[in-house]
Amino acid sequence: MSFNFPKFDIPNIELPKFENLLPTIQNIPNVTDLKLSNIASAIETLEHSNLINDIDKLNYNIQLKQTEKENYERRLKSITSIDITAGIWCSIIVSVLSMIIPFLIVSFNNYLSDYKTIIFIYMIVSFIISMIILLGYLIYSYKSR
């Protein structure tokens, strides 16, 4: 069996050229030359927030260092403003009057039994003098601040 296909006449159709089908685009702008001022990229936003965080941390550290500096300055001022030699002399006088001499009196108690009233008066007077010296030094150091 053989098949006979009908014969069709194919008309001669000229297709237009491909270049003619596309519309001509005039002046395509360069994307790199565009300045988008209203739109910030995600990377720029992250960098900006990181910079702000770093600045905040530095400001906090500066404030901490400033308070430490002020504390150290106050401590140094309190040390240097009080006359240290006056404190040393007060300590020496109180130590001799209230500790060393009474210790010697107790040590030689057998030899000083005849002077009990004088020793008793000395103990009371030395205690009062020592307390007056310490009170005077405290008032002096408080006023010199």
- Reported confidence tier of residue 39, pLDDT bands at 50, 70, 90: low
Calculate mean pLDDT across residues 6-12: 63
Instruction: Give 57-106 as a DSSP string.
Output: HHHHHHHHHHHHHHHHHHHHHHHHHS-HHHHHHHHHHHHIIIIIHHHHHH
Mean pLDDT, the chain, whole residue set? 79
Calculate mean pLDDT across residues 26-48: 67
Please report, as a single letter, which amino acid is at residue 73. Answer: E
Between CA 100 and CA 131 the distance in angstroms is 16
* pTM for the whole structure: 0.42
- Reported confidence tier of residue 22, pLDDT bands at 50, 70, 90: low
Q: Give the CA distances from residue 117 to residues 29, 55, 113, in Å, rounded to whole numbers and listed in that order.
A: 115, 76, 9
Percent of the chain whose predicted confidence (pLDDT) is above 70: 67
Between CA 102 and CA 106 the distance in angstroms is 6
